[in-house]
């Protein structure tokens, strides 16, 4: 079987606009979005009025700094403020295609437009080509993570195996029997599948046919990437996005940062003041996707990165996000899921025996591991606690019961000890 060329080509003309065309494009998209959102989203109108921001006076890109930042965490509260997700939506819920729910809880609307989540150009850049059979291993239930990747694959004339959260034996069997050529999922899960295959004597290069992998949802090291690329003889590229807005950036073959998607205007801002920072400076990723249905204007993602405008060998002219260097606050993204301290606190409050708690996150071998440390005397409800925790937080931690006074006096609710390289 001859292999497809997965290294060349560009999906959309928008990826190669020159600098002045790009500025013009952003300006037109933003003007249009702001006018529309102000008119049809109750929440946007309220916020713009409060900040005395006049949409008619938006003349150049830098004027965007006069719009207050919208923190991702505010969505939890705002969405509960009334119909149309608290006025954030410009349509009724029944006019949408789907409504998902992410931890928080935050609802993620999807409307009926083509390529709503905007991943098609990113999948092409990652190396997916017509005729691929892609196995999607993200969960299909409630969260949008799996379904949002079906559309780009359809647009690129690929087929999908929606294997979701099947166990690794089933995943491996599908991969082998159907000669799957593409993997979509978390990088650590692909590593898990590789380990499983080696255990049962499946040769990753001879018995499997995976040539391309699109990964997202968790940070991984270059060492892990090259290990997986060598093991399977495949190309592995990552995307960056959120369940609120969809695609924000994606890697090309040359893997030197994440090209910013053409569907969004991205700023790097000071996490406290919201003031845009200079190219190269590390700050919070603030995104405005050109989405009239759910106009989250200047959404602060909580992720930290920087902008790189140096030319890329692939020919794409879009600026790039350097690596995602961390999280702004104590919220941690573990195994692709956001874990909020207040949700953990909610669970802990049900156990009066627990005096104090802390979550420790590590990544031995590049795979996230979460340990729940609790201080308690004669704690007997371990199984019950793990069950409740898993039900609310969607992740299963390791549990360590400590005698009171073991944890230091000043602790962060989530201590992120993960190392990248
Ligand atoms: Zn590139």
Q: Average of pLDDT values for 254-267?
A: 97
Cα–ligand 1 centroid distance for 396 (angstroms): 37
| Residues 279-311 pLDDT 10s | 998 889 999 999 999 999 999 999 989 999 999
3 state DSSP class of 262: coil
pLDDT in tens, 187-213: 999 999 999 999 999 999 999 999 999
Which pLDDT score is estimated for 289?
98
Q: State both tokens at 362.
A: 């590590």
Centre of ligand 1 to C-alpha 300, Å, is 25
The chain-wide mean pLDDT, for the chain, equals 94
Question: What is residue 48's predicted lDDT score, i.e. its pLDDT?
Answer: 97
Task: Summarize pLDDT for 53-95 with one digit per residue, the tens.
Answer: 999 999 999 999 999 999 998 999 999 999 999 999 999 999 9
Q: How far is the CA of 157 from the centre of ligand 1 (A)?
A: 23
> Tens of pLDDT along 344-392?
888 999 999 999 999 999 999 888 999 999 999 999 999 999 999 999 8
- What's the rounded Cα separation, in Å, for the pair 104 and 121? 29
Strand spans (E) along 162-310: 182-185, 212-215, 235-242, 246-250, 258-260, 264-269, 283-289, 299-305, 307-308
pLDDT of residue 421: 66
Is residue 174 predicted with pLDDT exceeding 60? yes
Q: Which residue has the higher pLDDT, 318 or 219?
A: 318
Model confidence at 331, pLDDT cuts 50, 70, 90, reads low
Average pLDDT estimate for 384-412: 92
Residue 254 CA, ligand 1 centroid: distance in Å: 6
- Centroid of ligand 1 to alpha carbon of 229 (angstroms): 19
Cα of 125 vs centre of ligand 1, distance in Å, is: 8
Ligand 1 midpoint to CA 149 (Å): 21
In the prediction, which pLDDT does 392 show?
87
- 326, two tokens: 């961390």
Task: Kindly tell me if the per-residue pLDDT of 1 is higher than 60.
Answer: no
Report how far ligand 1's centroid is from the alpha carbon of 247 (Å): 16
308 in Cβ contact with 319 (< 8 Å): yes
Cα–ligand 1 centroid distance for 304 (angstroms):
21
Give the single-character DSSP code of 284.
E
Report the share of the chain in percent with pLDDT over 70: 99
Q: Ligand 1 centre and the CA of 170: distance in Å?
A: 35
Q: What's the pLDDT at 330?
A: 60
Q: At what angle do helices 42-50 and 19-40 cross, to 10 degrees?
A: 100
| pLDDT at position 420 | 72
Give yes or no for residue 51 having a pLDDT over 60.
yes
Domains plus CATH for the chain?
Answer: 334-416 (3.30.300.30)
Report whether pLDDT(333) > 80: no
Global pTM reads 0.82
Q: Cα of 278 to ligand 1 centre, how many Å?
A: 21
Residue 329, pLDDT > 80, answer no
Average pLDDT over residues 141-147: 94
Please state the rounded mean pLDDT for residues 243-251. Answer: 97
Q: Bridge-partner residues for 185, per DSSP?
A: 215
Give CA–CA dist 345/234, Å, rounded: 42
Comparing 399 with 304, the larger pLDDT belongs to 399
420 vs 99: which has the higher pLDDT: 99
Q: Which two tokens stand for residue 79?
A: 């969405």
Q: At 303, list the tokens.
A: 């992720």
pLDDT score at 335:
82
Q: Above pLDDT 90, what percent of the chain?
A: 83
């Amino acid at each position: 079987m001859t292999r497809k060329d997965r290294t060349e080509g560009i999906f959309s003309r928008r990826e190669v606009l020159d600098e002045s065309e790009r500025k013009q494009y952003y300006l037109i998209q933003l003007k249009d979005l702001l006018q529309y959102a102000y008119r049809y989203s109750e929440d946007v109108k309220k916020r713009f009025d409060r900040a005395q921001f006049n949409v008619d006076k938006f003349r150049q890109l830098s004027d965007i700094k006069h719009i207050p930042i919208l923190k991702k965490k505010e969505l939890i509260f705002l969405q509960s403020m009334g119909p149309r997700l608290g006025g954030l939506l410009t349509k009724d819920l029944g006019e949408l295609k789907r409504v998902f729910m992410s931890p928080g809880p935050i609802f993620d609307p999807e409307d009926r437009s083509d390529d709503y989540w905007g991943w098609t150009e990113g999948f092409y850049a990652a190396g997916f080509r017509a005729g691929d059979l892609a196995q999607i291993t993200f969960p299909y239930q409630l969260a949008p993570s799996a379904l949002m990747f079906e559309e780009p694959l359809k647009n690129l004339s690929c087929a999908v195996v929606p294997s979701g959260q099947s166990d690794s034996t089933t995943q491996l069997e599908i991969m082998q029997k159907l000669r799957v050529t593409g993997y979509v999922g978390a990088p650590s899960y692909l590593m898990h599948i590789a380990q499983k295959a080696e255990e049962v004597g499946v040769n990753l290069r001879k018995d499997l046919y995976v040539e391309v992998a699109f990964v997202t949802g968790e940070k991984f090291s270059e060492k892990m990437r090259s290990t997986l690329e060598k093991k399977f003889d495949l190309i592995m590229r990552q995307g960056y996005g959120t369940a609120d807005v969809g695609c924000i950036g994606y890697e090309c073959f040359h893997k030197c940062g994440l090209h910013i998607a053409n569907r969004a205007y991205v700023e790097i801002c000071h996490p406290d003041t919201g003031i845009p920072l200079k190219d190269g400076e590390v700050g919070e990723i603030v995104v405005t996707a050109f989405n009239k249905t759910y106009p989250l204007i200047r959404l602060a993602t909580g992720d930290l990165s920087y902008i790189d405008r140096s030319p890329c060998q692939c020919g794409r002219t879009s600026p790039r996000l350097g690596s995602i260097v961390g999280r702004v606050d104590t919220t941690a993204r573990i195994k692709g899921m956001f874990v909020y301290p207040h949700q953990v606190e909610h669970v802990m409050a049900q156990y009066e025996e627990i005096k104090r708690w802390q979550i420790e996150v590590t990544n031995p071998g590049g795979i996230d591991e979460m340990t729940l440390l609790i201080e308690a005397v004669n704690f007997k409800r371990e199984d019950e606690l793990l069950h409740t925790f898993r039900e609310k937080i969607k992740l299963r931690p390791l549990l360590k019961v400590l005698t009171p006074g073991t944890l230091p006096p000043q602790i962060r609710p989530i201590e992120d000890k993960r190392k990248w390289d």
